[in-house]
Chains A and B, each alone.
Chain A
Amino acid sequence: MQIDKIIVTNVTALRGKYGSKYGQVSAALAALKASDAARGLKSRLVALDSASDMKAAGGKPVSGSADERGAKAAIDAVYRKYQPAYLMILGAPDVVPHIRLTNPMHGTDEDDGDPNVPSDLPYACEAPFARIPSRFIGPTRVLGRLPDERGATSPEFLVRLIRFAAGHTCRERSDYSGHFALSAKVWQKSTRLSAETLFGPGAAVRTSPPDGPSWKKAQLAPRVHFINCHGDTISSKFFGEFPKGKFFDALDAARLPGRVSEGSVIAAECCYGAELYAPDDADGARGISSTYLGEGAYGFFGSTNIAYGPSEGNGQADLVCRFFLEAVLTGGSLGRAAVEAHQKYVAQYSHLDPSDLKTAVQFTLLGDPSIHAVKHASHSFSKTTTIKSARKSGVVADGARAFRRERINRTGHNLSHTVGAASPVSLRPPPAVKRLLEAAARESGLSAATWRSYRVRFPAEADRASSAGTRSSRRERTIHVVQGRTGGGGERRRPQLTAIIATLERGRVVHIRRVHSR
């Protein structure tokens, strides 16, 4: 019998946290499975720590709750066995771990301070366990995580989330017609572009400053939230900024309860927006993503650590978050929206530079991936008596979801086999290119310049592909970056970080651009 939704967890870890109260979790999961069955989904719980469950799946149990390699192998075995339409991880990272991928931004002292990139994306990909992020840019599985709280000793929060998932309502598009968009004021141009693309011309965007963190219920009532603010690790707040260097509280988890509409879906570009920390590490303050879920939000799409995106125009975090909400609003399940957002983001590139690659793997869905927040608009033909009767009798089977999974699988495979990624190398640019970059740096007024180089590597399959138009010269693609500070001093605004980026093929500059920090 086809299993439509697999829920994976570590029961030993959950029992370790909740003791005799684990029974409450079991009961809630039974209700969730019954609710899934009522809407035509057959769900099964697979305990990654259970020898019998994993034997049935053709895999091995994990050695503990921190066993990343074991968790990846176990989930891969479970997926291969059951081929579910939806894969839901139940529990925080102290139950089923994130995979800590190498941070592509590591290279020089100027790079960000994240020691690694905690990610669930490897669980959505067929590639075996690795810490190399470029192995996981082609997800093929519809996945989400319904988290409890790190370090929790009582299951109330988890049970609450499971009950919201079991009792969720699939609503008309009109119930998602309003929005709440919030931006750090320094990024308002970028956020306005995102909001107008998502919600239409003239879409309202609140900025911090001057707005927040005390929001009225009516302001937070719309079921779609798009947030582009600062965030930080172990912090229950998001922050605005204006002018540069002046920060304000924009959104406070403590001020959300009682103000969030059930069924809300949130996309947050903020650094650490989807970080699942132990509340006790923040004096008991629960994080914003967990608070939203605890108030009945169905899904929260955010980053596990430091994110990237421009202050003007749309790029990186702006795009992946916008793609997620677009898919939700057109009737996609939360999990499908997440995988399609990842795929659409990666598909834009011939190769991913380090910050693009970090963006590709750091955004994660918190929520039941099988939930459709918004009803999909069906064709009038499917509402005819003939077709409705044929579906009921089984003469016509609903193959639409299977076709969507086929497309997702195809797209993920193609991306993982064709898109390149840049990784740092110790490489000097050719002398003529170095002179060009030095001259460009002088003309741009760069000071204290540093140099970085990258080699773009494409998957082996990409070279074997014989598609017309794929140039063999791309095998020798390198990127050279000269970066330094411009401007600042005296009463003027503080220095900017400026980078001149040259892409070379066979030693010749084929593309050059200059970028500025926000």
Chain B
Amino acid sequence: MASSTRKTTQLEGLVVAKRINPGSKSDHEAVVLVSERGELKLRRKGGPPFGDEELGRLAGRRIRGVGLVSAGQFIVDRYDIIDD
């Protein structure tokens, strides 16, 4: 059995769709959170790392999420839309 070695973080910001990692093997259209920590690729814990349609629908919205920051990504356990 292994336990998480990282602490979760709360971040809020604007979700944008943009191309990331150009020219690399991870060159793709992603959903990115623009927050005080800069731009982090947005992922859902347990969700698909590529082409997550649920996250895609958040483009243009502001969210607050709680999750892990790893390797330039924000992997959220949960999030709320906060611009309503």
Contacts and interface: CB of A to CB of B under 8 A. Distances in A.
Q: Is the interface of A mostly helix, strand, loop or mixed?
A: loop
Contacts of B2: 149-153, 278-280, 284
A26 interface: no
> Interface residue tally of chain B, by bracket?
20 to 34
Contacts of B48: 247
Nearest to A234: B70
Contacts of A114: 71-72
Contacts of B50: 230, 232, 239, 241, 247
A105 B51 CA distance: 24
Interface of B: 1-6, 19-29, 39-41, 43, 45-46, 48-51, 68, 70-73, 75
Given A234-B70, A247-B48, A517 B4 contact: no
Given A113-B20, A308-B24, A355-B24, A280 B3 contact: yes
Contact of B41 (A113, A247, A517, A518): A113
Contact of A112 (B21, B45, B51): B21
Contact of B72 (A113, A275, A280, A499): A113
Interface of B is mostly: loop
Contacts, number: 123
Interface in A82-121: 94, 105, 110-115
A517 B23 contact: yes
Interface in A469-518: 483, 494, 497, 499, 515, 517-518
A233 interface: yes
Contact of A230 (B3, B5, B25, B40): B25
Interface in A270-305: 270-272, 275, 277-284, 305
A26 B37 CA distance: 43
A12 to B, nearest CB: 16
Contacts of A306: 21, 24-26
Nearest to A148: B2
